[in-house]
């Protein structure tokens, strides 16, 4: 496991603990880019009615939007306003239909792993990109060849990074 260097993960991308359940929902959605409502419910351990009610308020407030992907259904995505509200260093997630299934499977794995080791210790690809951008060096990627004189890199879809003091 690599250390994050001089900046802590909390300084780079924040923590799982938030001031409000609404903020926690928006952060979860932004961290993954695209997510199903059922995945939000499962990750947060919330009931169906509560999840739908809160998400309706977040959509109405312009913090989250529904995105319909043909053949997949309705997904959720944090808006620019929602991402700014959470303070996360992401842009609005792009929707590439060919990658949606993969993205949703990664969300499922992240939720399962979060239930096993703690959601705080699971780092999404969007977070990995932010960490590498701030650090200016690879964190969870490897060189897989050269392109135009520079190393081509492959980054994992998820990583686990245990905080100091946790086993």
Q: pLDDT value at position 167?
A: 55
**Range 11-160 classified under CATH 1.10.10.10:** yes
Query: Helical H runs in the chain?
Result: 9-13, 21-32, 37-44, 48-60, 80-86, 97-117, 125-135
Global confidence as pTM:
0.82
- CB-based contact 69:75 (threshold 8 Å): yes
In the 8-state DSSP scheme, what is residue 95?
A: -
Assess whether pLDDT exceeds 70 at residue 165.
Answer: no
All structural domains of the chain with their residue ranges: 11-160
Tell me the pLDDT tens digit for each residue of 74-91.
Answer: 999 999 999 999 999 999
Q: pLDDT value at position 31?
A: 95
Interval 52-69 mean pLDDT = 95
Query: Over the chain, what is the mean pLDDT?
Result: 86
Q: pLDDT value at position 118?
A: 85
Tell me the pLDDT tens digit for each residue of 9-44.
Answer: 444 445 444 458 899 999 999 999 999 999 999 999
């Amino acid at each position: 496991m690599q250390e994050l260097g001089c900046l802590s993960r909390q300084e780079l991308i924040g923590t799982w603990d938030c001031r409000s359940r609404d903020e926690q929902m928006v952060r979860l959605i932004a961290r993954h880019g695209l997510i199903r409502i059922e995945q939000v419910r499962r990750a947060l351990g919330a009931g169906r009615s509560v999840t739908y009610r809160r998400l309706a308020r977040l959509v109405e407030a312009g913090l989250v939007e529904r995105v319909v992907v043909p053949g997949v259904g309705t997904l959720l995505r944090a808006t620019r306003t929602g991402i700014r509200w959470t303070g996360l260093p992401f842009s609005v997630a792009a929707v590439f239909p060919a990658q949606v299934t993969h993205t949703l499977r990664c969300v499922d794995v992240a939720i399962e792993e979060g239930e096993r080791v703690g959601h705080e210790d699971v780092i999404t690809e969007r977070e990995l990109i932010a960490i590498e951008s701030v650090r200016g060096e690879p964190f969870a990627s490897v060189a897989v060849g050269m392109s135009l004189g520079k190393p081509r890199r492959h980054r994992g879809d998820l990583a686990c990074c245990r905080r100091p003091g946790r086993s």
